[in-house]
Chains A and B, each alone.
Chain A
Amino acid sequence: DGGITQSPKYLFRKEGQNVTLSCEQNLNHDAMYWYRQDPGQGLRLIYYSQIVNDFQKGDIAEGYSVSREKKESFPLTVTSAQKNPTAFYLCASSGGTGGSQPQHFGDGTRLSIL
């Protein structure tokens, strides 16, 4: 069954702690994305990767880091530098090139502060 898998579904972070959100896809897509969703603000792009071993900052990258060592995986680390990490995080992927390729989304991870 093809798709995007995000884990865990719920995550809690202590003060000063880094946490990593997992995103795996078996759609053979080149591009992957991380979004943050806050109430009333829609989706905001954190980081994106158009190809393995390459990634770019999105609109709100401060306090986050990513890696893209494998095509199917794009983990997001929320560092202690992110002062307001409580949010819903969505991972997405898209295939091919050009702007008209639809993005496929995971179920999301909800991060909360203890």
Chain B
Amino acid sequence: AQRVTQPEKLLSVFKGAPVELKCNYSYSGSPELFWYVQYSRQRLQLLLRHISRESIKGFTADLNKGETSFHLKKPFAQEEDSAMYYCALSSTGFQKLVFGTGTRLLVSP
């Protein structure tokens, strides 16, 4: 069965500190992984996906198949990064997503 685990409900850091939001998954096939973000009073939106290998707003995420992880990282957190972050997985060829329970990132000045 497909499953996404985000072990931290809340992550609180100071501005300028490094950030790592953890995501682990279980899936027997070849997964596609995503990070979605929801800023205050905004819609849930895609932040990045592993196949793009891109950096969005300074965030990066690397798929580690050996550790079945897709952690989201940023070297220097900004206050505007405060939001709810969801890790999600889909199986290759299908668009149905399985979401984790989310991590709230709070960046303090």
Contact = CB atoms under 8 A, between A and B. Distances in A.
Interface of A: 31, 33, 35, 40-45, 48, 50, 58, 90, 94, 97-107
Contact of A107 (B6, B43, B99, B102): B43
B94 to A, nearest CB: 5
Interface in B38-54: 43-46, 49, 51
Contacts, number: 55
B93 A98 contact: yes
Contacts of B99: 35, 42-44
A50 to B, nearest CB: 7
Interface centre among A31, A40, A43 (most CB of B within 10 A): A43
A100 B51 contact: yes
Nearest to B86: A42
B93 A99 contact: yes
Contacts of B49: 100, 102
Given A42-B99, A90-B44, A103-B95, 15 more contacts: A31-B95, A33-B96, A40-B9, A41-B101, A42-B100, A42-B101, A43-B86, A45-B97, A45-B98, A99-B90, A100-B49, A101-B95, A102-B49, A105-B45, A107-B43
